[in-house]
Every structure is written in structure tokens, then in C-alpha cells.
Amino acid sequence: MGIIINKNTKAIVQGITGTQGTFHTKLMLEYGTKIVAGVTPGKGGTQVLGVPVYDTVKEALEKHEANASIIFVPAPFAADSAFEALDNEIKTVVIITEHIPIKDAINVMAYAKQADATIIGPNTPGIITPGECKLGIMPVHIFKPGEIGMVSRSGTLTYEIAASLTRKELGQSTCLGLGGDPITGLNFIDVLEMFKNDKQTKAVVLIGEIGGNLEELAAEYIANENYPKPVAAFIAGRFAPPGKRMGHAGAIIMGKAGTAESKIEALKKAGVKVAEKPSDIAEVLAKALKA
């Protein structure tokens, strides 16, 4: 179980012959992810780690069955790769690439919606359903199968919190990074909805950061839905100065909008337990699960 990916997921890797593509294909294979083919234009007919490489997604799917793709293609070409996957009816597309132009990302997301497909990212560490499947670049030893769903806007902060959960024997159903770019395929509400319907997930960790209003909207959703599972949250960037991009293109405070304060207040109002430090999440969650 878990959401979006599981042991039945069969994936292709777009950009498999690049340094990152090859490196992470190796790690995903080692974790047990079923990677059936790779795609790199001009490298068709070769192999990477025993995985056959094709010039186009179409050719890959003529020979193999796949329902997901993970993209490591450089930013100027990544949107094109996503369109190629979508046009071949791949329903789950993970875009690891960062710095994709906003206009391109908007077009990809609109197209994916019409195609009824799920895009994770761009600029995401990916998604992992521990013990079953990983489509991403996260280190795997910090995860273990369990009942906590995690959704985050940050990569390394997710690792930080996942590791502390695992240390406290709180395993995870699925962990996914929305992505650090301004436009992402999923937002908190989409994922909260999926966790709500997932039987394995008993509680949710939401990791937000400054910029935008996705956390506030998530808080509104949690309150309105009377969300049936406990939610714990951490918001990064409480002391960030306004007007400066804190690494992620999306992490910027504009005027009064997008501050950590506003997000924390909204979440608390919705009954979410907000942790002060990343390491507090595990404790907050353990309490909530007992209650």
C-alpha cells in the first residue's frame, strides 16, 4: 500500500545515461525498484547497468510495460521529456530536475491534468514507499515501512525528519517531496487527500517552508474536512529575511505573505501539532497517535 507507488510500479528512467541518471538508477535498482528501461536520445541500443536504453519513450514501451517515469534530464529539455512520457500514457512522472522555467512547468502540469496523470516535482527528491519502491534520490537507510505518511517541500529536511522518525521506530507508509520550485505537480492538499484514503497511513507529517500560501491552504483544508488522521508539521524559515530567496525558488517572503508565522498560526488553528525543531516531530507524533 502507501500512495502513488508500490511494489507493482514499473518505471523507466529518462536521462539514464547522465551521471545523476546512472548513479541513481543503480541505487534504485539496489532498493528493489523495478526499472524496465531507460531513455536517452542518441543512446538507443546501449545498456546501463543491464537496463536497455532506447532513443524514445515510445520504443521503450513497445518492448516493456511501464506505468511510471523518473526524469533526470537537464532543465531546458525536462519539460519536453515530461510531455513525451505523458503522451505515452505514463500516469506517474517524477521530475528530479530543478530550475525548469515556470512557463514550461505550468504547461506540463496543465497537460498532465488533462491526461489524468500525477506529476511529482520538479526539483523534488522523489517518492519512496519504504520496503516496496523508490523513485527518487533519497538515501534509503533512513526509511522503514510503517504508518506515517510524509509530504514535504524540502529534500534534506525530509531526510532529517524521516531519520528521526525511524530512530523512534515510527515507520513510514510513503514519503514524497512536492518539490522546491514555484510550480509543482502536487500540493499539500492533493497529498493529504491521498493519505486520507490510504489504509496503511495512520498519521501525516507535513513539512513546509516560507513562501507562497500552500501551507495556509492545507490548514484550511484540514479544518474544513475535519481531517480524520492526526497531522504534525514543521515549517522552515521562521527567521528568514523578507525579499530574499532562501535557496528554493519558491522560498521567498513577499511583503507580509509567505511568512512562517502565518503558516504556523494557520496550521495550529486547524488543530495541527506544529513542532519547534525537526527532531520534535517524532515525539509530537507519538503523542498524537496515542491520543
Q: Which residues bind another protein (CB under 8 A)?
A: 20, 23, 75-76, 99-107, 109-111, 125, 137-139, 152-160, 163, 180-184, 187, 207, 209-210, 212-214, 217, 234, 236-241, 244-251, 254-257, 276-279
| Smallest separation (angstroms) from another protein to the CB of 180 | 6
User: Which of 198, 219, 203 is CA-nearest to residue 286?
Assistant: 203
Catalytic residue among 24, 64, 141, 248: 248
Element of type H or E holding 244:
none
H runs (alpha helix) in the chain: 19-31, 57-63, 75-87, 102-114, 155-167, 188-197, 214-225, 260-269, 281-290
| Smallest separation (angstroms) from another protein to the CB of 61 | 25
CB closer to another protein, 174 vs 200: 174
| Smallest separation (angstroms) from another protein to the CB of 67 | 23
CB closer to another protein, 117 vs 214: 214
Q: Is 234 helix (H, G, I), strand (E, B) or coil?
A: strand
| Smallest separation (angstroms) from another protein to the CB of 45 | 29
Q: Strands across the sheet with 273-274, in order?
A: 133-136, 126-129, 172-177, 145-152, 203-209, 231-236, 273-274
CB closer to another protein, 2 vs 125: 125
For this structure, is 248 an active site residue? yes
CB closer to another protein, 29 vs 163: 163
Q: Which cell numbers in the block locate residue 55?
A: 532513443
Element of type H or E holding 246:
none
Amino acid code (one letter) for 288: A
Q: What are the residue numbers of the active site?
A: 248
